[in-house]
């Protein structure tokens, strides 16, 4: 089992410029059902053996796609999200980084009021992968292995570390979701934790956080109140100085409770296995699962 | 992108916020010209224009009662090194000052608008007790902080502005013009927040004068970098002199770089891994010199620019390269490292950890390069090795 | 029994200028629990023996009001609706006429997304009355009589006719709602019909329509599909020429199906007792109820 | 408030819609001046500027190939009485004409934006088959009508404009500039709809030229009267010459009045009751002369103005007053009727029905007034009596 995406998910790619077509191919090669590309002025052509349409509506009508991967440049990314939602796409994964915060604020408001059934992941995220079934995003597929751990992360390459470590430990993953590093995200930990808890094959959850915001605290509270599966967590940014934006638009230390140290302590206080050494994530999960 | 007070006031005035603009000076002649534009009768205030906060306590804001006094204080502040709790011990040089007429104050209010990431909506944070530091007030008297969310599509609604106004100026007589003027000023702040894609609009203090005028006496505006493409005209407001020169240089080279105090230069792909690398260095007793995310497009040019930046910094006593190749191929990264290292002549120890796509090939390339590079298999091992290498330096 | 308002409803009045205070008094004299007035700059005063506050939040906090009657002039009426909703008021009755259509369109969107529990009646309506218990609006209270008929109408004075006739026929009313004559209304027939169907004391429903829009058709479809209680209907505007706005902003003949004749025929075709003589509404209800 | 084509084009141009503006003339000298501003090589089009639609079939739009031809056709159309299916048999006088360069057309599109009252949201109605009457197309080929709702807070989204553009210009080559230009034009129409509080923005035809230009060739904009307070500058666009003079007079007196064809003058409080009164007159075989809602503030002045309006109309052979006093007190209405009737000398039969607040007192006043007023107890009786009174007149 898995969450959100699986072998039946039919994916289209919005934005098939250089990056979009490169990753469209990557996902296709991984085995994902890539059914269409979308780009104005490119309708009627093909990219990597996949038909391209001018609009998402056209693509959905022709292919029945139910998920989208967005590589549209930042100025048009929020509009691309809404275009996908409006065309009936249920899972929208926005890889694009640099989307203006107000665009996301407005887009979330519109999604909530007009398209309540749509799940947006990202923006500024590596995507989502169910190993061996469906990869929507830019993660290196080969490091993943079908298995027992659900991974939820604000970071890209740091997620790869966690994946690599859990694969090396022989645990493997059910589904890995990079929720993105922006201040306003389509899906938060809170939106996705219930899915992992409900997924029968997910035995443990790895949560990778960052400085900035209180999403980790909300996750810990939710975990404590509603979840039975063990959770291993790491929070990046212990060395980040206050007020400096650490690459991710959301990774900026705010108030006193918003340091990585404070977050790690907070997580531990809830009973979550908080590790302060990011190279020990896999080992900690193995220990927790008694392996 | 941070703006100076005088720039912020220009922007706010355009959306209907009443401000006292005054005149800006950046040299002695400018001071004379500025003084000439002010009303002849004082008092006036001289305000250092620096991006760092806390300038009042640091001596960057002075009241002057006579023209001569004004001239003297302007000259004293312009060019001074201002050290506040936000500048670090080295302080910042004051390159511009704002001269503005002083104003009698009956009541001081704090107002800011910023994005509440938890709710995904803009949030007004305000207090009837302005003038002091809001963090302090929030800690000691949280009940005195008002919070009001804005709908991102509709903006501030008139009823929200009215409600805030009556709460922020509670002692006014029924027929006082203050609540209506204050509500209109708040609407102007909201218009500015949305119009300019601001990440912060802050007025502290927003004042009510004894004659019932409502004025934004100070103003702070920060613009969201990601939205500047919508406002090309605002790009001209950037004051690079206020930014860290290393960071300015890095930004010019397209690098995502933040300067820190340590001696281990870090070169990593991905922001999260970069932070985790810094964290692990610290965990092992080292001190990172910087945050540096070379991103998904790490190639020879990026590597070269990154190495030049790190090696040009006398504080850097060792370099850690930590790459988890996903999209990035490790063999290409290794080649970039080799080419760059040859070009800049590597004088400090360097540990390289390559993992992910084509990592084997990358490691082999490094091993046969003849360069004094220490390879490391894992994340942990790499940080241990570089901490060890720079120990005592 | 009744719908929406009853003897426990605590009402505040937004806008206590000349018209507002006149009708505040009218409602109070009728027996409605008028607990507050709201008008900026008038906070701390009293109007007709009722305390006035600067804002609705203040008024709600002080009085526990749960319904609002709005007389704020058209430019500020939509904002007044949102102010009431934001302060926790659950029933908002907007009497004001001349509210710009776009203001209502935006206000409905915001009510739906931010305040889904709020019921708006109007704008440009006479209000709502539960005879003998609660009058929120400008209707002459004395013509009403507690009884068996629910009245739902786009028109003001024409509603009074229906009330007068049903009172004269000895039937009386459970609750009468003037939904207003504007193109975009806070509550439509569709929103209110289920309440009348569920109200045990309402035995029959009078629906008074007008040219313009297809609200009557929707009501007829709903009635046919979901309702058991008999309905008597009249539609005003048989003599209205196409393209001319008949007083109400919404009363304008549109397409071919949008004439009063067509609407009356349509209603009759669904089994609704459609009368073409507006002076016979009361008689028709009496006949239908076998009296 | 309806606007002329040339006014609509000015407004649309300001929101980024490409139009051919041409030049307006209202007298022979104006025609010469207008011709002087046009490009010397024809052909050109002369278009009657009247608020009524259907002017093309009615001879109000003519193509001219030479300058002389242009002058002649302009002179012929200016001042003509234009009779279309929307003007009534009496037609309307053409007081203004628009002279504009003709344009080659490869494709004609229909687009309009209006409020969908059912959904409470603005709606774009469009068809790739423009030029013809949309009602006709909707009746015969409903599948050719595209509908797209707009969010009232967010306006038209770029993806909606793109989607519409590709559907409205389906035959374009992949690299054609048409879809992008069309999408931008649609965004401009949406901006206009929201900016001006329009009740209708319609372009028919919106054309694609053989050289792939996308232009709003015609334009119709109606503004929402209730929102004009937000746009005082647009009030100047009102052309009262195009409106019914009786209705203009009534509006000046603050009366809600619509002229009809019958001979029974109606004076009623409330729009619904006014319509129902007209309906009942017709049901009983009479013909209402007008819709007249005196509203909730019926007093002596209103009554006087209303009586003057009705009695000044030679078509009116009898008057029905139908008042359901709610807020309005019937005794005051009766007094108003009496005072007004005395002042204007009542020469036609009048039936008065008073019901509601203080109806008894009102009836008593009328009964003792000595005026030739027929009282009526009920709504039905009142209409029967007035229909009877004017029968055969």
- Domain coordinates of chain C in residue numbers? 10-121, 127-288
Residues of A in contact with C109 (CB under 8 A): 113
Please tell me which residue in C23, C144, C248, C273 is annotated as part of the active site. C248
Kindly report the number of other CB atoms within 10 A of residue C47's CB atom.
20
Estimate to the nearest angstrom the gap between the alpha carbon of C29 and the chain centroid.
20
Q: Is the peptide bond before A35 cis (omega within 30 degrees of 0)?
A: no
Class of domain C10-121: alpha beta
Classified as helix, coil or strand, C98 is coil
H-assigned helices in D38-141: 67-77, 134-140
To the nearest 10°, report the CA torsion of D119, D120, D121, D124. Answer: 60
Record the pTM. Answer: 0.94
C-alpha to C-alpha distance for B94 and A144, rounded to whole angstroms: 53
The residue of chain B with its CA nearest to that of C109 is B154
C-alpha to C-alpha distance for B135 and D365, rounded to whole angstroms: 74
C-alpha to C-alpha distance for D129 and A110, rounded to whole angstroms: 32
Q: Does A55 touch chain D (CB under 8 A)?
A: yes
Report chain B's mean pLDDT, rounded to a whole number.
92
C-alpha to C-alpha distance for B346 and B333, rounded to whole angstroms: 17
In sequence order, the 6+-apart residues with CB closer than 8 A to the CB of D140 are none
Closest CA to C119 of C170, C222, C195, C171: C195
Both tokens assigned to B274: 């970069």
**Residues of D labelled as active-site residues:** 110, 202
Closest CA to D217 of D135, D111, D103: D103
The residue of chain A with its CA nearest to that of C108 is A113
Q: What is the CA radius of gyration of chain C?
A: 18
In sequence order, the 6+-apart residues with CB closer than 8 A to the CB of B218 are B5, B203, B204, B205
- Is the CB of residue D336 less than 8 Å from the CB of residue D298? yes
- Is the CB of residue D200 less than 8 Å from the CB of residue D221? yes
Size of interface A-C (CB pairs under 8 A): 5
In angstroms, what CA-CA distances link D304 with A258, C63, C207? 74, 45, 34
Phi first, then psi: what are they for B347, rounded to 5°? Answer: -110, -5
Interface-testing mutation among D151, D159, D177, with chain A (most A C-beta atoms within 10 A): D159
Phi first, then psi: what are they for B281, rounded to 5°? Answer: -60, -45
Please tell me which residue in B6, B110, B196, B257 is annotated as part of the active site. B110
Report angle CA B267, B268, B271 to the nearest 5 degrees: 125
Task: Decide if A277 and B280 are in contact by the 8 Å CB cutoff.
Answer: yes
The tally of CA atoms less than 13 A away on the side-chain side of residue B245 is 3
* pLDDT higher than 70, residue B193: yes
C-alpha to C-alpha distance for D260 and D275, rounded to whole angstroms: 12
Same fold, C10-121 and C127-288: yes
Interface-testing mutation among B119, B148, B159, B176, with chain C (most C C-beta atoms within 10 A): B159
The residue of chain D with its CA nearest to that of B153 is D153
* pLDDT higher than 90, residue D48: yes
Residues 64-93 of C with CB under 8 A from D: 74-75
What's the pLDDT at D197? 98
What's the pLDDT at B304? 82
**How close is the nearest chain C Cα to the Cα of B158, in Å?**
7
* Residue written as token pair 């459970």: C174
In sequence order, the 6+-apart residues with CB closer than 8 A to the CB of C176 are C128, C129, C131, C139, C144, C150, C151, C152, C153, C159, C163
The residue of chain C with its CA nearest to that of A110 is C113
Q: What is the pLDDT of residues B248-306, one digit of tens each?
A: 888 888 888 999 989 999 999 988 999 999 999 999 999 999 999 987 666 677 778 88
Q: What is the pLDDT of residues A87-137, one digit of tens each?
A: 999 999 999 999 999 999 999 999 999 999 999 999 999 999 999 999 999
Query: Does an H or E element contain B134, and which?
Result: helix B134-140
Q: Does A99 touch chain B (CB under 8 A)?
A: yes
Distance in Å from the first CA to the final CA of chain B: 36
By CB atoms closer than 10 A (0-12, 13-18, 19+), residue A99 is buried
* Total residues belonging to chain C: 291
In sequence order, the 6+-apart residues with CB closer than 8 A to the CB of C248 are C124, C154, C155, C181, C182, C210, C212, D271, D272
Sheet containing strand B373-376, strands side by side: B256-259, B290-293, B264-268, B318-325, B350-356, B373-376
The tally of CA atoms less than 13 A away on the side-chain side of residue A204 is 23
What's the pLDDT at A115? 97
By CB atoms closer than 10 A (0-12, 13-18, 19+), residue B85 is exposed
What's the pLDDT at C279? 94
Query: Does an H or E element contain D86, and which?
Result: none
Task: Decide if C109 and A109 are in contact by the 8 Å CB cutoff.
Answer: no
Classified as helix, coil or strand, A90 is coil
Of D115, D135, D291, the CB nearest to C105: D115
Please tell me which residue in A23, A144, A248, A273 is annotated as part of the active site. A248
Phi first, then psi: what are they for A30, rounded to 5°? Answer: -70, -25
Task: Decide if B275 and A98 are in contact by the 8 Å CB cutoff.
Answer: no
Both tokens assigned to D19: 């139009």
In angstroms, what CA-CA distances link D229 with B70, C57, C107, D121? 48, 28, 18, 21
What's the pLDDT at C146? 97
* Residue written as token pair 């009837």: B128
Please tell me which residue in B5, B202, B242, B355 is annotated as part of the active site. B202
Residues 104-133 of C with CB under 8 A from A: 109, 112-113
Estimate to the nearest angstrom the gap between the alpha carbon of D104 and the chain centroid.
31
What's the pLDDT at D149? 97
Task: Decide if B166 and C58 are in contact by the 8 Å CB cutoff.
Answer: yes
| Residue spans of chain C under pLDDT 50 | none
Residues of D in contact with B153 (CB under 8 A): 151, 153-154
Other chains touching C, judged by 3 or more CB pairs under 8 Å: A, B, D
- Is the CB of residue A32 less than 8 Å from the CB of residue A134? yes
At the topology level of CATH, where does C127-288 sit? Answer: Rossmann fold (3.40.50)
Q: Does C127 touch chain D (CB under 8 A)?
A: no
What's the pLDDT at B210? 96
Residues of D in contact with A76 (CB under 8 A): 158
Of A43, A55, A110, the CB nearest to D174: A43
Interface-testing mutation among C79, C104, C105, with chain B (most B C-beta atoms within 10 A): C79
Classified as helix, coil or strand, D93 is strand
Kindly report the number of other CB atoms within 10 A of residue D348's CB atom.
18
**How close is the nearest chain B Cα to the Cα of A191, in Å?**
13
Residues 314-333 of B with CB under 8 A from A: 324-327
Residues of B in contact with C79 (CB under 8 A): 157-159
C-alpha to C-alpha distance for B21 and B218, rounded to whole angstroms: 10
Of A41, A56, A114, the CB nearest to D175: A41
C-alpha to C-alpha distance for B118 and D271, rounded to whole angstroms: 49
Phi first, then psi: what are they for C222, rounded to 5°? Answer: -65, -45
* pLDDT higher than 90, residue B71: yes
Task: Decide if A106 and D162 are in contact by the 8 Å CB cutoff.
Answer: no
Task: Decide if D227 and C248 are in contact by the 8 Å CB cutoff.
Answer: no
In angstroms, what CA-CA distances link B223 with B202, B244, D24? 12, 18, 46
Interface-testing mutation among C107, C110, C113, C114, with chain A (most A C-beta atoms within 10 A): C113
Q: Does C56 touch chain B (CB under 8 A)?
A: yes
Pairing of strands D318-325, D264-268: parallel
Task: Decide if A109 and C112 are in contact by the 8 Å CB cutoff.
Answer: no
Q: What is the pLDDT of residues C114-172, one digit of tens each?
A: 999 999 999 999 999 999 999 999 999 999 999 999 999 998 889 999 999 999 999 99
Other chains touching B, judged by 3 or more CB pairs under 8 Å: A, C, D
Pairing of strands A146-153, A204-210: parallel
- Is the CB of residue B130 less than 8 Å from the CB of residue B205? yes
> Poorest-confidence range of A240-244, C214-218, D31-35, D36-40?
A240-244
**How close is the nearest chain C Cα to the Cα of A17, in Å?**
36
Task: Decide if B154 and D153 are in contact by the 8 Å CB cutoff.
Answer: yes
**How close is the nearest chain C Cα to the Cα of A171, in Å?**
43
Size of interface B-D (CB pairs under 8 A): 5
| Residue spans of chain A under pLDDT 50 | none
What's the pLDDT at A291? 66
Of B158, B159, B175, the CB nearest to C41: B175
The tally of CA atoms less than 13 A away on the side-chain side of residue D316 is 24
Q: Which domains does chain D have, with CATH numbers?
A: 1-20+104-242 (3.30.470.20), 21-102 (3.30.1490.20), 244-390 (3.40.50.261)
**How close is the nearest chain B Cα to the Cα of D163, in Å?**
22
Q: Does D147 touch chain A (CB under 8 A)?
A: no
Q: What is the pLDDT of residues B305-323, one digit of tens each?
A: 888 889 888 999 999 999 9
Size of interface A-B (CB pairs under 8 A): 176
Phi first, then psi: what are they for D110, rounded to 5°? Answer: -110, 130
């Amino acid at each position: 089992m898995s969450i959100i995406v699986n072998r039946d998910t039919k994916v289209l790619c919005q934005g098939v410029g250089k990056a979009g077509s490169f990753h469209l191919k990557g996902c296709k090669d991984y085995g994902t059902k890539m059914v269409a590309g979308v780009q104005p002025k490119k309708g009627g052509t093909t990219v990597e053996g996949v038909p391209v349409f001018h609009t998402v509506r056209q693509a959905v009508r022709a292919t029945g796609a139910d998920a989208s991967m967005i590589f549209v440049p930042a100025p048009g990314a929020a509009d691309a999200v809404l275009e996908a939602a409006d065309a009936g796409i249920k899972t929208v994964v926005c890889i694009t980084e640099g989307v203006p915060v107000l665009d996301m604020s407005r887009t979330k408001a519109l999604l909530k009021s007009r398209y309540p059934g749509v799940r947006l992941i990202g923006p500024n995220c590596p995507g989502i992968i169910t190993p061996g079934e469906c990869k929507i995003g830019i993660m290196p597929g080969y490091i993943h292995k079908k298995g027992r751990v659900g991974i939820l992360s604000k970071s890209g390459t740091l997620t790869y570390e966690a994946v690599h470590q859990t694969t090396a430990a022989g645990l493997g993953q059910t589904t890995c979701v990079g929720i993105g590093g922006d201040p306003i995200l389509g899906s938060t930990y809170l939106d996705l934790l219930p899915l992992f808890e409900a997924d029968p094959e997910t035995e443990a959850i790895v949560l990778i956080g960052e400085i900035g915001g209180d999403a980790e605290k909300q996750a810990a509270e939710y975990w404590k109140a509603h979840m039975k599966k063990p959770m291993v967590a790491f929070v990046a940014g212990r060395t980040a100085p206050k007020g400096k934006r650490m690459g991710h638009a959301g990774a900026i230390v705010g108030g006193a409770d918003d340091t990585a140290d404070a977050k790690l302590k907070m997580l531990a206080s809830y009973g979550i296995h908080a590790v302060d050494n990011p190279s020990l994530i896999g080992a900690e999960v193995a220990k927790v699962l008694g392996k | 992108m941070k703006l100076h007070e005088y720039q912020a006031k220009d922007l706010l005035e355009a959306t209907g916020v009443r401000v006292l603009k005054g005149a800006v000076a950046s040299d002695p002649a400018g001071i004379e010209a500025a003084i000439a534009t002010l009303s002849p009768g004082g008092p006036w205030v001289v305000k250092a224009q620096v991006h760092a906060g806390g300038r009042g306590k640091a001596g960057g804001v002075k009241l002057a009662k006579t023209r001569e006094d004004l001239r003297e204080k302007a000259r004293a502040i312009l060019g001074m090194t201002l050290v506040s709790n936000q500048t670090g011990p080295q302080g910042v040089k004051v390159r511009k000052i704002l001269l503005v007429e002083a104003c009698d104050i009956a009541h001081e209010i704090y107002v800011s608008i910023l994005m509440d990431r938890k709710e995904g909506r803009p949030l007004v944070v305000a207090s009837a007790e302005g003038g002091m530091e809001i963090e302090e007030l929030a800690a000691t008297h949280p009940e005195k902080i008002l919070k009001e969310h804005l709908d991102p599509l509709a903006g501030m609604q008139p009823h929200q502005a009215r409600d805030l106004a009556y709460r922020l100026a509670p002692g006014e007589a029924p027929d006082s013009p203050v609540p209506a003027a204050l509500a209109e000023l708040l609407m102007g702040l909201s218009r500015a927040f949305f119009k300019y894609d601001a990440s912060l609009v802050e007025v502290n203090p927003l004042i009510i004068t004894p004659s019932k005028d409502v004025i934004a006496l100070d103003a702070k505006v920060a613009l969201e970098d990601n939205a500047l493409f919508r406002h090309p005209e605002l790009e001209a407001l950037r004051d690079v002199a206020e930014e860290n020169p290393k960071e300015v240089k890095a930004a010019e080279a397209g690098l995502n770089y933040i300067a820190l105090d340590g001696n281990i230069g870090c070169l990593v792909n991905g922001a999260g891994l970069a932070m985790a690398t810094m964290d692990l260095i610290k965990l092992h007793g080292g001190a990172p010199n910087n945050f540096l995310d070379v991103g998904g497009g790490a190639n020879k040019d990026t590597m070269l620019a990154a190495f030049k930046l790190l090696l040009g910094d006398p504080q850097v006593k060792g370099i850690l390269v930590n790459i988890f190749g996903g999209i990035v191929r490790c063999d290409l990264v290794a080649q970039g490292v080799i080419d760059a290292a040859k070009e800049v002549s590597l004088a400090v120890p360097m540990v390289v950890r390559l993992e992910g796509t084509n990592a084997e090939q990358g490691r082999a390339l490094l091993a046969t390069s003849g360069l004094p590079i220490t390879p490391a298999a894992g994340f942990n091992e790499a940080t241990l090795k570089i901490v060890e290498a720079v120990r005592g330096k």
